[in-house]
Amino acid sequence: MISPATKWIGTDALIQALSTGDLEVEGRLAGASNGTLRCLVQVSPDSSVRCVYKPVAGERPLWDFPEGTLSMREVASYEMSQSLGLGIVPPTVWRKAGPVGPGMCQVWIDEISDVRLVAVLAGGEDLADWHHVFDGTDESGAVVSLVHARDVALQKVALLDSVINNADRKGGHLLVDADKRVWAIDHGVSFSAEDKLRTVLWGWAGRPIPDELGDPVTRLRTMLDTDLPESVTKWLTTDEVLALGSRIEQLLATGTFPMPSPDWPAIPWPVF
């Protein structure tokens, strides 16, 4: 759950605090692949909010993404979520300065553990309430199935991932807060000019985008008819912006969620 402080403070105040407020480092997330710090930032004299701070200095170089750009892609993903009216990425900003230099800062989500959005089920279990992704075997050789929930909030995530070309949608990157609101995090390897969509949310692959997502689809069409939002494109290269436009055009032309590419692994590993 977003800190109670953010329930009553204005969005502008929150964004300002994340962007320029003094960060008090609480610790480092040991399981993160890049340097990631959990911090406290003061929003008002009597309130503060936890946040995730990912400095550029903590990024590991990748062979397929320009060095020092992962934090920027996190900001671009939030801005695209906002531009589409999805509201599924926690408030995320660029900080010009921080304890370890420039990077991104994002509101921390306190996750609850009693809601499963993605699961690995034993073979033979009832999958009626799930979208089946694929079957595999566990360490003992028993058949298991990767599944995800039939949830419109996850459809919003799948749509966003299709637009931003997310190369790493793991099950652990989907959080549910105490209000049962779904949040999507970790978008550092998004917006590549090459087709790199890799996700655990393939349950809607090839299926029509439903009427429930009519508003974000309309916004995508408006983007093509006018201009892609500068709040997104300013973080990307020219080739990446062109590819973003092409993906949106393809989504609108087919009206369906994309199918996995034969040229790129379809499932992230590990899946959680």
Residue bearing tokens 């911090």:
39
Separation between Cα atoms, residue 35 and residue 24, nearest integer Å: 16
| Structural domain that includes position 20 | 4-107
Asked if the model's pLDDT at residue 10 lies above 70, the reply is no
Separation between Cα atoms, residue 156 and residue 154, nearest integer Å: 5
- Class of residue 229 by CB neighbours under 10 A (exposed 0-12, middle 13-18, buried 19+): middle
- Class of residue 42 by CB neighbours under 10 A (exposed 0-12, middle 13-18, buried 19+): middle
pLDDT in tens, 49-95: 999 999 999 999 999 999 999 999 999 999 999 999 999 999 999 99
Q: Burial code of 156-184, b = ≥16 C-beta within 10 A, e = fewer?
A: bbbbbbbbbbbbbbbbbbbbbbeeeebbb
Asked if the model's pLDDT at residue 214 lies above 90, the reply is yes
| 262 found inside a domain | no
Confidence bin at 5 (pLDDT 50/70/90)? very low
Separation between Cα atoms, residue 93 and residue 231, nearest integer Å: 11
pLDDT in tens, 21-44: 999 999 998 878 888 999 999 888
| 86 found inside a domain | yes
| 63 found inside a domain | yes
pTM: 0.94
Separation between Cα atoms, residue 199 and residue 266, nearest integer Å: 6
| Domains in the chain, number | 1
Separation between Cα atoms, residue 146 and residue 94, nearest integer Å: 35
Confidence bin at 8 (pLDDT 50/70/90)? very low
| 215 found inside a domain | no
| 229 found inside a domain | no
| 224 found inside a domain | no
| 98 found inside a domain | yes
| 200 found inside a domain | no
The DSSP string of 48-61 is EEEEEEEEGGGPPP
